[in-house]
Every structure is written in C-alpha cells, then in structure tokens.
Chains A and B, each alone.
Chain A
Amino acid sequence: MKRLRLNSGQATLAFAVLVLTILVVYPLAQLVYQSIQYNQQWSLQSYLAAMTSESNLLALRHSLEVSLAAMLGSTVLGTFLAWLIARTDLPGRNFFRTAFVLPFLIPPFIGALAWLQILGPVGYLNKFLMTLTGASEPFWNIYGPAGIVLVMMLHEYPTVFISVLGGLERMNPELEEAAQISGGRIFRVMRDVTLPLMMPTIAAGALLVFITDIANFGVPAILGFSENYYVLTTQIYNVITRSTQPNSLNIAAAMSILLALVSGLGIFLQRFYLSNKEFAVISGKSMQPNVVKLGAHRYWLFALALTLFVIATVAPLVAILLTALVRAYGLPPLPENLTLQNFYDVLMLNQSSRRGIVNSLGLAVTAATIISLLSAFIAYIIVKTKMRGRALLDFISNAPYTLPGTVVALAMILAWLKPLPLIDFRLYNTIWILLVAYVARYLAFGVRTAAGSLAQVHSSLEEAARISGAGWLQSFRDIVIPLIRPGLFAGWFLVFIPCLRELTISALLWSTRNETIGVVVFNLQQSGNTSASAALAVIMIAVLLIANLITRRLTGGKLGY
C-alpha cells in the first residue's frame, strides 16, 4: 500500500512562508495599499497631502536636521573614543572599554526623561547654576532640537565606538608599521593610513546611527511635544492618534512610506560601505598594534574620558534615581525630602503601572519563545537548503526590524483593524496585536542568531542521522535543534530585552488595560506625573540590568554588555 508522504522540506518552507506572510508581508502590503487609497478609491492624493502639508515638510526637515546632527556628534565622539582605547596608552582602558558601551543599557526615551531632570527648566544642573549665579532664568533648556540631538548623540555613539574599536583592533598592524618605516610620524600615519582604511567602517557606523535616530520616537516625543517641535515619527504618531480628519490613516501611511524611504536610503548606503571588500585590512594574526604614548596628555585625556562616562551614563542614572526618590518633583534631593513612596505608588497603587509591568514581562517572554521556535525553521531554510526564494525569506524576516518602528506599528494597525474573517475577532485594541507586532519586529534577532549557529553545524552531522534511518523532521529534532540550542537560547534573550524596553510600537498599539512599561512611563511623564514616571523608569532599568546580567552569565559574556 502506498502512503501519501508530504515532502517535509517543502512543508517546512510552506509553514515559514505562511508565518512570514501573516506577520510581515500582509501588514506591509496593507500599508502600501492604504497609502494609495483616498476616500476608498485608488489615488495618490495621500502622498500629495503628505508632501504638501507645511507641518509635514517641517517634520521631515526636523528629522533630517536632528538625525544628521546627532549622527555627526556620535561619529566624532565614537571614533575618537575608539581610537583612545585602541591606539593609546590611556590609563584604565579596560574599564572604559566596557564603560563607554553602557549607554546602550538605557532605553533612549528613558535617557530623554533623565536629561529632563538634569537640564529641564527645573533640572538639577539648571537649579544648581541658578543658585550659584543668582540668575532667574534656567541656564539651558533641554526641550527642543538641541536637547534631542544631545540625548540621541549620547545614546548612539556606542554604535560607532564598537564598530570602529573592532576595526582598529582587527586591522593588520603591519599596514601602519609600513607607513612608519617609510618615514611617517605617528599622526601622519594615522592621517594617511589608519583613518582612510577605517573610513568604510566609520561611515557604516555613522549611517547605522542615522537610521536609528531617524526612526527614534521616544526622544523627540519627550523633548519635542511640549515645544511643538515634531519630527517624522512624532508627526505620524500625531496624525494617527489625534487627527479626526477622514483619510488620516491613509495620509499617515503615505508619510510612513516616505520615512521608510529615507531610512532605506541610509540602509542602502550602509550596506554599500560594508560590502566594500576592497579595503579588507583584517589580519589573521593578532599582534600588538603601535600605541601612541600620551605622555603628559594622559592626565587630561583620562579626566575627559571619565567625564564623558559620567555624562553619558552616570549622570542620567543618578538624576532619574534622585527624582524617583524625592517626595515631590522639583524639591531638592536633600535627605529630608527622600522617600520610597513613589516606588510604592507605581508598584502597589497605580493599576496601570502594575498592568504595564505584567504585560511587558508576559509579552517579552511569549514573543521571545515564539521567535526562538520560528527562527529555528526559518534559519534552517535560509542556511541549510538550496530552496529557491530563501534569500527572499531572509529579506522578509529582516524587514520589520530594519524599518522604523512607527512604520511597522502603522502597518499592524492597518492590517488588524478589521475583525478577522471566520472567527470575527479583532486583534486591534487587544494585547494580541502587541504580541504579533513584537514577534514581527524582533524576528530578525532570532533568525540571525539561529542562522549563525546553524552555519556551524556541518551538514554531515545531519546526513549521518539520515543514513542511520532518521527522517528529516526526526533528524532536525534530534540532531540540529540540540546542536543549535545555545544559539536559540541566546536569541531568546536578544528578543526578551528589547521587548521589555519597547516604546515606539507600543505607543501606537496600546489600549486601556493593555499597556506596556514603556507606555506607562511615557504616559505618566506626559500627564505631568514626573515622580511616578521616574520611579517606574528606575524599575524598568533595574529589570533590564538584571536581564542583561543573566544574558551575560548564560552566554559566557558573548552577548549583553
């Protein structure tokens, strides 16, 4: 008797395609479709409206201005610090190597909140300087573009720092030595050889910062709303949440696509620089590169490095902690004003913040677990098979993370606004739309780590299982999954942590009873309850730090900071 047997490889592919269609392709297709609809008809009117509105054009200009300025700052700062660590005898280099990456631990919108405590109208530094000088006006007001640039820059310079540091350390030192033996003094060698060779790395890092900054929602929302200073992401947020005009979602869709195009241009340029293999300068051997002996300069450079560490990491953390501990916002942080009441409020009394914590933890655990399982299959198809269309699979699973979060969120709204057919269930306004969006958004993290592990598993291991009589699915379960388990595990944490700190997508998809921590912190701040928002932010940072430590411990220091 002949049994009907489904080709298991094809079944896996079909499964992966189905999942990605639901999670990614359909929502993005909806976004494009809605952008070319106006009054329920095919039209480019939405684009026209998006591009002719003065406020939209202004938002685009602001986006470019702020992101370019922050990119420039992050690049100069990150490159300089990387050089200081990799190529000088600065004291405490090992400490700074870790310390300079720490801003990554603080979500950018929390950073913005923290800087409000320092340089806001009643910020600690402003008050201190006012008392010192007797001035009646704050020294500097962080609200507005300059503040946005400052916070973005301090948050994103590690991107450049990490890639340039890696580049400098992997660079073949003989390239520099050859210039030195040719008669070049150390700074001449840096100018003629080191810097030009690092240029593609620096440019790629800079573009990554630009893409991140232009997609950022939290920082311009917290530091821009009260000044009516809008960038593309916050402008789209406004159109979606506040506009009552007809077709506003269509216009928002058109604006999102414009945002995606600007960001896509950055991504394209970044890939271009990274793929520039002609400048391959990586050496196989590890040799001590020549370091600049700083001599007497080491003292002030050490002080500078320490100051930068304090400004980028210590100051915001301390400021937000102080605000969380002070009885009422605006009181000086003196012993008689300190209290734990704010923590009690957000943990015990405030129902929305309690729900936010539970929801975020639940979403993060669920999304991370789903992604770990899905990415094993998707990564398998991409890495281990020769199936046609696997490159497309890779591209699609990367898209939601590469696109700005605002774009993804709007795509989800448009896709899941209407009730699902057959079961008549509406995802919109429930926690499930957040879950779907999180899974789509961070799928790339899981696929990337799983693909990395899978590439290490030689196909002969699987073939040996097949020759021993195991079917494809059986060998996948018995051989492949156990071998890539560390990778799946690492991927789980790589998804868990960003889910916890998410704001951009949650801010557009949350609904009453379905808040996330980020949303509650943001809402508390917007409604003027700074103390509670600071207390919840401190709790959020604490949870992130613990998750980060666990990640480091479990991955033997390979992941986490």
Chain B
Amino acid sequence: MATVTLEQISKAFGATFAVKDFSATIADGEFVTFLGPSGCGKTTCLRMVAGFIDPTRGRVSIGARVVSDPERKIAVPPEERGVGMVFQSYAVWPHMTVFANVAYPLKIKSVSKEEQRQRVGRALELMKMSDLADRFPHQLSGGQQQRVALARALVMNPQVLLLDEPLSNLDAKLREEMRLELKQLQKQTGVTIIFVTHDQMEAMVMADRIVVMNAGIIQQIGAPREIYLKPANRFVGEFIGVANFLSGRRRGDGFALAASPQIVLPFQPPAALTSDALVMMVRPQDIALHPSQGQLAAQVAQKMFVGDATEYFVSVGGETLRVRGAPREDYAVGATVHLTISAGQFFQ
C-alpha cells in the first residue's frame, strides 16, 4: 500500500484555475474524502491522481514514485500507475461478463488463466458476487454493477483505490449499505482510499480525514469531528451540517448582536480575531429551549415536526435561528421561548 502526496498542484483550463495550490498527504491505508460542492475541483484532483488529467504545476507522488511533475516532464500514464478506480457510472463493460470484466486487468498483465480464476474468484467473493460471474452487466442491478466495478478495481491489488462519487447513482437504502461495506472493505484490504463526494453525510460517515474544497482551493483538512466542530471558515461551517450565523461585534467580554445591540451573548470572541464586525456560528443542537429561563427570549416563527425532533425557526432581535427541540417538547407558533446557547464559534 502507499502514501499519496499532492504537492502544490494546480490545474488551469485557459485562464481559470479548476484547482489551485492543492497540497495534501494521504497516509498509507488512510480513507480520505475530497468533499465540496459540484465544480469545486475535487474530481479534477482525483483525475490528476489517476493520470487522466495532467497538472499544470505541482507534483503528484504515489508511494516513493513521482507520477506527475510537469517541471521535470514526468507524466506517468494512467495504465502504469497501478491504482484502482471506480467511476461514477461504474463503467462496467457491457460486452463482457462479470468474470471477464473483473479479469480484464489481470489479462492485460498476462496473468495465467489459473491465477486469474483464483484472484477473480476471491475478488467476487469479497463483493458477494460469486454466483453472478457469468452474467452480463445488463442483467445486473445498479448496486451489483457497482460491486463488479469495485471487484475489478481491487483485483490487481492496487496501492491506491480511487472512488469518484460511486454511491451517487444508488438509492438511499443501498447507499447506506455500501458505505458500511466500503469501510469494511478498507479494513480487510488495508488499501489507501481517496473518495470523492459532494454528500457531506457520506464524507462524515466514511472518511478518516476530509479535504473540504471550494472553487478549486482547499478550505480545510481534518478528521470529520474536527471539521464539524471546528470549521476553519464560514464556508466549511455552512457546507458541513446545519448552522446559524449571527452577525455582531465584541462588547466587553461578550458578543452583541448587530440587529439588536442590547442583546449581549456571554461568549468572548478570541483575541486573534481583530476585526470589529464578527460572525458567530451556532449549531442548532447547541441551543437549548426552555419555556421560562435562558440567555435570551425568542418568538417561534415556524415549526416542523420531523419525528426525532421538532425543528423551530425562532426570531431573536431581527435574526432567525434554527433550533432543535426534543420531540416531546411542543411550543406553539407565536409563543415565546427562552434560548440558552452552549457553544459557538467566531469568524471574521
């Protein structure tokens, strides 16, 4: 297995940068997710690791081997990189059986027929597809096709496995199943995985570390917990999970809301933030509701019962906050509730 190192890579299409100064090291056996909205450059990054796109600048290494370095005119083609890849459309070849699909990488390497049978058998077994070896792709469901694509990517024991939004074409239930299976698979094989997705839930559940991207630039790299609890900037906070943003300014050792300066929340912005106007991010679950006691009073503007909670939109001094109440609590629209904020984070 191998480390993947991306050093200062950029990809320009004409004058615009699809990816700019992307640096990340993916450790041996790590599961890293590239996460971001569509068009943020995450797929471009993945395809630069695969070798389908050559970076304009920077260096890509797989293990000790430099595979892309335009300065030194190194551009190892995809077929020589020894990585496995699962495509968004699965790209299972419709003119070959399941067996032939999975055996193809071995066939190219001129592996003996006997060994092909063994290794394909193992890969299919791993994907619980053994009994479908003789089927053609059009006889398979989407989930099964995806397993074929995975088996094909794994059969040559790649150092690195690249996954390009492989779950996005599956239905919700199957997607959840595959998440767990992919996780399981990585434990079994120890392969280094780079996984591209725009689904933050998927990234949280599966990744050891997440690389959050926006407009071609890395916003934050960190473990899911860290990204969620300590987003590096407002974009990350907003993109991952649900968040309220309150504008205001420093007032003594508190934070005064811009919309109604008489309300001062008991949180002191860190001294490192020098700007006067600040934004405080508060997750809905960090706000407690109480009928009579709290830091500040609010009016219920809207409510939605979602089963495991009731989601409220409440107005506080001109701002609307999203809050979660326990399912058995019930506040009527128009009622006054009292909020207690237990945590928050400041951005400039």
Contact = CB atoms under 8 A, between A and B. Distances in A.
A280 interface: yes
B63 interface: no
Interface string A172-214: 1011011111111100100011001100000000000000000
Contacts of A184: 79, 104, 108
B85 A178 contact: yes
Contacts of A280: 94, 138
Interface in A264-283: 277-281, 283
A185 B149 CA distance: 19
Interface in A161-181: 172, 174-175, 177-181
Given A177-B78, A182-B108, A280-B94, A172 B50 contact: no
A290 interface: yes
B109 A181 contact: no
B95 A178 contact: no
B79 A174 contact: no
A470 B5 CA distance: 70
Interface string B76-103: 0111110111011111111100000000
A182 B104 contact: yes
Interface in B123-145: 136, 138
A367 to B, nearest CB: 43
B88 A181 contact: no
A185 B85 CA distance: 16
A255 to B, nearest CB: 40
B72 to A, nearest CB: 19
B284 interface: no
A279 B149 contact: no
Contact of B136 (A174, A181, A185, A278): A278
Interface in B26-83: 50, 52, 77-81, 83
A278 B94 CA distance: 7
Given A178-B93, A281-B94, A192 B78 contact: no
Given A180-B78, A181-B78, A181-B84, A188 B93 contact: no
A193 B108 CA distance: 13
Contacts of A193: 93
A174 B89 contact: yes
B152 interface: yes
Given A172-B89, A283-B89, A181 B50 contact: yes
A204 to B, nearest CB: 16
A177 B52 contact: yes
A278 B96 CA distance: 11
Given A177-B52, A177-B87, A278-B138, A183 B95 contact: no
A186 B94 CA distance: 19
A19 to B, nearest CB: 41
Contacts of A172: 89, 91
A178 B149 contact: yes
Interface size class of A (residues with CB under 8 A): 20 to 34
B104 A192 contact: yes
Given A174-B87, A178-B87, A181-B85, A197 B93 contact: yes
B169 to A, nearest CB: 11
A178 B101 CA distance: 10
Given A177-B78, A179-B104, A181-B78, A279 B95 contact: yes
Chain A binding site: helix, strand, loop or mixed by DSSP?
helix
A197 B79 contact: no
Contacts of B138: 277-278, 280
Contact of A183 (B93, B94, B108, B136): B108
Nearest to A178: B91
Nearest to A179: B104
Residue with the greatest number of chain B CB neighbours at <10 A, chosen from A182, A188, A196, A290: A182
Given A172-B91, A193-B93, A278-B94, A180 B104 contact: no
Contacts of A197: 93-95
B105 interface: yes
B104 A196 contact: no
B203 interface: no
B140 to A, nearest CB: 12
Contacts of A277: 138
B156 interface: yes
A283 B93 CA distance: 13
Contacts of B136: 278
A180 B93 CA distance: 13
Residue with the greatest number of chain B CB neighbours at <10 A, chosen from A183, A277, A279, A283: A183
B68 to A, nearest CB: 15
Interface string A442-475: 0000000000000000000000000000000000
A177 B152 CA distance: 13
Contact of A182 (B79, B88, B89, B94): B79
Given A181-B50, A182-B108, A183-B109, A175 B91 contact: yes
Contacts of B95: 196-197, 279
A286 to B, nearest CB: 13
Contact of B79 (A183, A278, A281): A183
B34 to A, nearest CB: 17
Contacts of B52: 177, 180, 290
Contacts of A179: 93, 104
A464 B324 CA distance: 46
Interface in B229-283: none
Residue with the greatest number of chain B CB neighbours at <10 A, chosen from A181, A185, A188: A181
B87 A183 contact: no
B94 A181 contact: no
A42 to B, nearest CB: 50
A179 B105 CA distance: 8
Nearest to A278: B138
A548 B252 CA distance: 80
Nearest to B136: A278
Contacts of A196: 95
B345 to A, nearest CB: 38
Interface in A214-244: none
B89 A181 contact: no
Nearest to A185: B79
Contact of B83 (A178, A181, A278, A279): A181
Contacts of A192: 104
Nearest to A195: B95
Contacts of A279: 94-95
Given A175-B93, A197-B95, A278-B94, A180 B149 contact: no
A533 B113 CA distance: 66
A197 B77 CA distance: 23
Interface of B: 50, 52, 77-81, 83-85, 87-95, 104-105, 108-109, 136, 138, 149, 152-153, 156
Interface of A: 172, 174-175, 177-185, 188, 192-193, 196-197, 277-281, 283, 290
13 contacts: A172-B91, A175-B91, A178-B87, A178-B91, A178-B152, A179-B104, A180-B52, A181-B84, A182-B152, A183-B108, A183-B156, A184-B108, A188-B108
Given A181-B83, A182-B108, 18 more contacts: A174-B87, A174-B90, A177-B85, A177-B91, A178-B85, A178-B87, A179-B93, A180-B52, A180-B77, A181-B78, A181-B85, A182-B105, A182-B152, A183-B156, A188-B108, A192-B104, A196-B95, A280-B138
